Every structure is written in C-alpha cells, then in structure tokens.
Amino acid sequence: MRFALKPLVFMALLAAGPAASAADDDMAVDLALVMAVDVSLSIDEKEAAIQRNGYVHALTDKRVADAIRSGPIGRIAITYVEWSSVYHQIQVVPWRVISDAKSAKAFADELSKAPVKPGSTTSISGGIDFAVKLLDDNGYDASRKVIDISGDGYSDYGRPVKDARDDAVKGGVTVNGLAMMFERPKWKQEVPEDLDRYYNEQVIGGPGAFFVTVRTPNDFSQSLLHKLVLEIADLAPTNTGAERDLSLPAR
C-alpha cells in the first residue's frame, strides 16, 4: 500500500494558525517524539553526517513548524538520541518543547553543534528500550508517544527486537522506522537486501506505525522531512506495516 499526503491536506496545515496552548504548569503536548539514530560501526563518517544534517535541515523547514501548529495544543516535545550497542545510547539533545519555527531552529542549532560519537555493535532493541525510558520519564503529558528509529542493518546484539517493540507498543508507544539501504563500496559489507521487510516485520509497531526506505544519500533529507511531517501532524494511516510514498508539494 502506498500513501501520499494530499496537497489539500497539506494546505490545511499551512493555513492553520497557532492552537490554544494548555497551561504551562501541566506541560501538555500533542506529541512526545524520540528521534533515535544509528551510529554503529556500519555507519561511516559520511553516513553519520547525512543523518545528522538531514535532521537539522528537516527541523528548520517551514512545513515542520506548520505541522506542529496544526495540533490541538500546538506544541510537541522532542529529543535526539544516537544509539549503537546495548551500552551505547547518548541523548545528544535533551527534551525540548517545540511550538514554532524559532524553537525548532534553536533545537536544530543545538543538534548541529554536538559531536557525533561512533559506536560499535547494532542493538535496535537497546535503542528502543532506551527511548521508552525517556518517554516514560520526561515530565510531559503527551497525547501521543512515538519513537522514530533509523538504521542500516539488522539488530545483532541484545534482546530480540520484536520483544522490545512489543513492550513499547504495550506501553502506548508507536515505533516508526527509517531503513537506510544505500549502495556501498564493494569492500564494505552490503546492506541486507530485505532490510525494508525486516523493519516492517520486526521493528515498527503501534497505531499508525509505518516505515520509510531511503536508497540513496541524496534522498535522505527529503524523505526524513516528509516522515516527520506525517508523524507530527498525525497524518499516518491507521493500518500498520506498510512502506509510505511520502510525496509532498514543493515548499
């Protein structure tokens, strides 16, 4: 099944004005989102930069701010995590409340200045478990909780991915995925040919869960932007387990 964000729906986002905010003392948000990014050994310096720059650029795009403002409360809480082994999870940028282009840019600026610390093995389950803990203890009253996890290979360390995914879903968390299937030089180990299927069956789960496959570095930033807009605006379909065609009108 393919899914496209229709121009009329997206124009409604652009026209939406700031929603009424809840009282500051209850810290209510439309969404609590953990952006969980793979920095294991299979991710080289170039790919790490592609991921980091992709999030920086996406967060400063006007369409992300429009999606945030389209919610009933008009603000979300986000944090950026880089993960590798069971023992390597770093909260690069702590929880921040984002309500407009200015606060989104401040987050992106903070992210762009943080160093990337490469990891070792690949434990997607460890990344999910760490993200769940952050969602459970962040001080926000979120209408939705989402983990956005990206990677370029199977989980090869820690407990089974399905177990971590299922526990997250039981706790009211949706896990979405971004499978990076870039072509690699011959001297490097190839990305698994069925990584998209693996993400569909093993990684994603929860209401409206979906995954995106990115096959070239040049497509990463735009695909990520479209994915974030769908997640933030809660526009993903209700059926679980499909790859999405993330077509959006031009900026």
pLDDT of 70-119, one tens digit each? Answer: 999 999 999 999 999 888 999 999 999 999 999 999 999 999 999 888 88
Report yes or no on 243 lying in a domain.
Answer: no
Model confidence at 240: pLDDT above 60 = no
Report residue 23's pLDDT band, with 50, 70 and 90 as the boundaries: very low
Domain of 43 in residue numbering reads as 7-233
Report yes or no on 58 lying in a domain.
Answer: yes
Report yes or no on 20 lying in a domain.
Answer: yes
Q: What is the pLDDT of residue 182?
A: 82
Report yes or no on 91 lying in a domain.
Answer: yes
As for how many domains the chain has, the answer is: 1
Report yes or no on 147 lying in a domain.
Answer: yes
Report yes or no on 124 lying in a domain.
Answer: yes
DSSP 65-132: HHHHHTSSS--EEEEEEEE-STT-EEEEEEEEEE-SHHHHHHHHHHHHHSPP----S--HHHHHHHHH
Report yes or no on 249 lying in a domain.
Answer: no
Q: Write the pLDDT tens digit of every residue in 165-198.
A: 999 999 999 999 999 998 766 656 677 889 999 9
Residue range 197-222: mean pLDDT, rounded: 93
Report yes or no on 1 lying in a domain.
Answer: no
Model confidence at 8: pLDDT above 50 = no
Question: What is the reported pTM?
Answer: 0.84
